[in-house]
Amino acid sequence: QVQLQESGPGLVKPSGTLSLTCAVSGGSITSDNWWSWVRQPPGKGLEWIGEIYQNGRTNYNPSLKSRVTVSVDKSKNQFSLNLSSVTAADTAVYYCARNLKWELGDWGQGTLVTVSS
Amino acid sequence: EIVLTQSPGTLSLSPGERATLSCRASQSVSSSYLAWYQQKPGQAPRLLIYGASSRATGIPDRFSGSGSGTDFTLTISRLEPEDFAVYFCQQYGSSLYTFGQGTKLEIK
């Protein structure tokens, strides 16, 4: 089974850029799947951020589109998230996931990112 | 953007009872595009149901999904202690995934 692992700084300053990486193991990022980022503020619901295909094609949530970049590194079998101009409202657990058809089948364990000075 | 509204917000039941969770969409959703997830504290969501009614790999048959159009239901036939968790529905449309706000299933 595919396993995903998020990594990156747990603390980001306001107005800075949040950068996370998702390492994929047990499968190839060049398989016929899209790969997503999802976040969950503490005690709240889930918000889909965006997705990427192996060829670099992306789709983003319109509510975040102006601040989000998702990229893929096939040589390292991983994909990444950059979220710019962060505020306290971006504090959340960030998950990476593997899309199946129209649902998210495999998830990383999640990583908490806090936006604070 | 399609908005999903889940009800009830909290459901209090006892082990062995039947649970019925509702997910209502603001506009019609293709059944193929409707999924359900279970999330326990400190864990990532786990896919339970996809295509409105198909169980994901390894999901017990006490979990079932149904519905079409704007109204979808997740049913747990006989609650086990490990089923008490938060449940989210999710839809896909126009290259956008959206989730319901969740239903917390708690032990009565």
The structure tokens listed for B83 are 């089923």
Of the pLDDT bands very low, low, confident and very high (cuts 50, 70, 90), residue A115 is very high
Tell me, what's the pLDDT at A1? 85
Q: Which residues does A24 contact at the CB level (< 8 Å), separation at least 6? A: A2, A3, A4, A35, A77, A78, A79, A98
Comparing CB atoms, the residue among A46, A103, A110 nearest residue B47 is A103
Task: Report whether A72 contacts A52 (CB < 8 A).
Answer: yes
**Which of B97, B98, B99 to mutate against chain A (most A CBs within 10 Å)?**
B97
Residue B61 CB coordination number (10 Å): 7
How far apart CA B51 and CA B35 sit, in angstroms, is 6
Q: Is the pLDDT of residue B94 over 90?
A: no
Comparing CB atoms, the residue among B50, B100, B101 nearest residue A100 is B50
Percent of chain A with pLDDT over 70: 100
Q: How far is A88 from chain B (nearest CA, A)?
A: 21
Task: Report whether B67 contacts B34 (CB < 8 A).
Answer: yes
Residues of A in contact with B100 (CB under 8 A): 45
Query: What value does the mean pLDDT take over residues B62-88?
Result: 98
Buried b (16+ CB within 10 A) or exposed e, A25-48: eeeebeeebbbbbbbbeeeeebbb
End-to-end CA distance of chain B: 36
| Cβ <8 Å between A110 and B44 | yes
Phi, psi of A100 (to 5 degrees): -95, -105
Residues of B in contact with A107 (CB under 8 A): 44-46
Tell me, what's the pLDDT at B104? 98
How far apart CA A7 and CA A21 sit, in angstroms, is 5
How far apart CA A91 and CA A89 sit, in angstroms, is 5
How high does pLDDT run on average in chain A? 97
What is the tens place of the pLDDT at every residue in B44-64?
Answer: 999 999 999 999 999 999 999
Comparing CB atoms, the residue among A36, A46, A100 nearest residue B99 is A46
Percent of chain A with pLDDT over 90: 98
How far apart CA B70 and CA B48 sit, in angstroms, is 19
What is the tens place of the pLDDT at every residue in A44-54?
Answer: 999 999 999 99
How high does pLDDT run on average in chain B? 97
